[in-house]
Chain A
Amino acid sequence: DAKTTQPTSMDCAEGRAANLPCNHSTISGNEYVYWYRQIHSQGPQYIIHGLKNNETNEMASLIITEDRKSSTLILPHATLRDTAVYYCIVRPPGNTPLVFGKGTRLSVIA
């Protein structure tokens, strides 16, 4: 079973920041927080991941609370192409399977 809880859906105005929360209160010490997204029936796509420090890449930023029980994915300037289902996943390091939960359906509105 997925170890994360996310809002079912969110809306965001185009050009604004999208902040997607995730609760993972039972995360283990060696587990990373990963974010993937799936754009309408395409294969899921990696966005970002982190262990305990905040992370930023060309796609997004990841803010992890100090107790590691929750995190927030930030898309700084959402575009219509960011409309997708966003999955927060916790997993140990290595070639381990992804356990997808319900995800958040983000709709970016013009």
Chain B
Amino acid sequence: AAGVIQSPRHLIKEKRETATLKCYPIPRHDTVYWYQQGPGQDPQFLISFYEKMQSDKGSIPDRFSAQQFSDYHSELNMSSLELGDSALYFCASSRTGSARDEQFFGPGTRLTVL
């Protein structure tokens, strides 16, 4: 079965650079979520989109922005990168009306800021 696709899987950036992470949800899933997991930390919700509109906002820094496109893929844009942004970034998707309201997670993008 198709799963959530994230690219790139690994990314290395310098401080103050920008980064763009991409997420391709499972076909027919209409909601995308972004989570950040720092080293030794638990996943933390950043932001979500439903039908290309922002639906919930968590602890996403102002330096970050995200959007969902017409084909339902989503991008997380990160600017003025800081050392503390080094983390695993997970994207998850779900389908409205599913019996379990289950979120399916991608493999994550590991961002390292040097």
What's the count of A-B pairs with C-beta under 8 Å? 61
A16-24, A71-79, A98-106: which lies at the interface: A98-106
B105 touches A44 (CB 8 A): yes
Interface string of B88-108 (1 = CB under 8 A from A): 101010101000111111111
Q: Within A21-60, which residues are at the interface with B (CB < 8 Å)?
A: 32, 38, 41-46, 49
B31 touches A46 (CB 8 A): no
Query: Which residue on chain B has the smallest CB distance to residue A95?
Result: B31
B102 touches A95 (CB 8 A): no
Docked CA distance A42–B55 (Å): 25
Docked CA distance A26–B45 (Å): 21
Given A41-B88, A87-B42, A95–B105 Cβ distance below 8 Å? no
What chain B residues lie within 8 Å of A93 (beta carbons)?
101
What chain A residues lie within 8 Å of B103 (beta carbons)?
44, 46, 98
B42 touches A95 (CB 8 A): no
Q: Enumerate 23 A-B pairs (CB-CB under 8 Å) in ascending A order.
A: A32-B101, A41-B88, A41-B108, A42-B107, A43-B4, A43-B108, A44-B43, A45-B105, A46-B104, A94-B96, A95-B48, A95-B94, A95-B101, A97-B45, A97-B58, A98-B33, A98-B35, A99-B45, A100-B42, A100-B45, A101-B42, A102-B42, A103-B42
